[in-house]
Amino acid sequence: MLSGLVDPVGRRISYLRVSVTDRCDMRCTYCMSERMTFLPRADVLDFEELLRLCQVFVKQGVRKLRITGGEPLVRRDIGPFFETLGQWLHHPEQAGTLDELTLTTNGSRLALYAETLFRAGVRRVNVSLDTLDEERFAHITRRGKLTATLDGIRAAREAGLAVRVNAVAMAGVNDDEFDAMLAWCGKIGADLCLIETMPMGDTGEDRTARYLPLSDVRADLAQRWTLEPLMDRSAGPARYMRVAETGQRIGFITPMSHNFCSTCNRVRLSCTGQLYTCLGHEDGVDLRAILRSGGDDAALLAGIQSAIDRKPLRHDFMLGTHSGEVSGPVRHMSVTGG
C-alpha cells in the first residue's frame, strides 16, 4: 500500500509550490493586468501559517519546496522564512525532511538576497527573463528594469546558485531571440527553459495571437544547435535536452501542445491558503479556513487529502489559434503561484 500523499491514479505528491504573496514589482503581459487589484494583507497567510502548512506536507512525503509569488522577494522578512525552511533540509532523524528548497523570481531583488538564499540551503533558482532587449523587457514587464534582473542573475551565479532562465515563448514578441538567449545562457553557465503561454486570468493581452508551439521552436533550433536528448527528468514539467555547443541544457514546458499530466507530482498552495492540485482547474481546498478556525494538523491533513483525492487526470487548457477560443482558470498566475 502506498503511503504519503497519493492521488486517485497513483501519482505520489512529492513537490509543493508555495506562493508567499500575490504582489509583484512587474506586470508581465502574460501574467497580470496592468492595473492589478491586490489582496488585502489580512487575507494573506503570515509566515507562521505558511510554515505550519509546509511542515504538514513535508511530514507526508513532500521532498521539494519551491517558493513563488507574485514576486516572493518583495515580501518583507522573506530571508528568515527561507532560513527556517532551510533547517529542514537533509535531516533524516526528523519526521520529515526536505531534499530541495528552491524559488522562482523575476530577479529584480535577487542581488539583495542571493547570498542569504545560498546560506539557507537554496542551491538553484529559476529566473523569469523573456528577452535580452531592454525596450522589449520594459514592454513585456510594463515596468521592470532589465539591468536589475541581469544584476540579480550575476549575483546568484557569484553566490554559487545554479540558474535556470525561464522565457515564455511569444510569437511576434521574442521569437527572434531564442538563439541569442541560448548563446547567452551558455556564456554565463545557465540553463534555458522555454514555456508555452497559458490562458490564466485576464491580462489585457491577446494570448491567442501570441501562442507559439514549442515543437516548432525546437525543430527550428535543431537546425543550428546540436540538441542531445537527456534521460534524466526533473521533478518539474520541463523536458530537457543538452546543447552540445554550450554544455548547458534547454528545457521545454508544453502545457498546450503536449501536456505532461501523467507524471504530475505537484500541488500548489496559494498565498491565501487555497490548495490547488492542478494549475488548469479552479477546484481547491481552503486550508486557511481550517488554520484560522483552530484546526489541528489532523484536520489540515484531512483537508489536504480531500483535495488530492480530487486531483484531475489532466488539465483542460485550451488556446484556439484559429477559433480564438480560450479556456483556463479565471484566476491570475500571480494568485495561484508560478
Q: Which residues are annotated as a binding site for S-adenosyl-L-methionine?
A: 30, 70, 128, 198
Cβ partners under 8 Å of residue 73, min gap 6: 103, 105, 108, 109, 110, 112, 113
Grid cell for residue 223: 537546425
Cβ partners under 8 Å of residue 20, min gap 6: 45, 47, 50, 67, 68, 69, 70, 72, 75, 78, 81, 271
Find how far residue 303's CA is from the centre of its chain.
Answer: 23
Sheet containing strand 124-128, strands side by side:
227-229, 239-243, 249-253, 191-196, 162-169, 124-128, 100-105, 64-68, 15-19, 266-269, 274-276, 284-286
Residue type, 90: H
C-alpha to C-alpha distance for 111 and 187, rounded to whole angstroms: 19
Binding residues, as ranges, are 17, 24, 28, 30-31, 66, 70, 104, 128, 198, 261, 264, 266-268, 278
C-alpha to C-alpha distance for 337 and 200, rounded to whole angstroms: 11
> Which residues are bridge partners to 293 per DSSP?
none
Residue type, 26: M
Binding residues for [4Fe-4S] cluster, as ranges, are 24, 28, 31, 261, 264, 278
Comparing CA positions, the residue from 171, 131, 162, 124 lying closest to residue 149 is: 131
Binding residues for GTP, as ranges, are 17, 66, 104, 266-268
Whether the bond into 121 is cis, omega within 30 of 0 = no
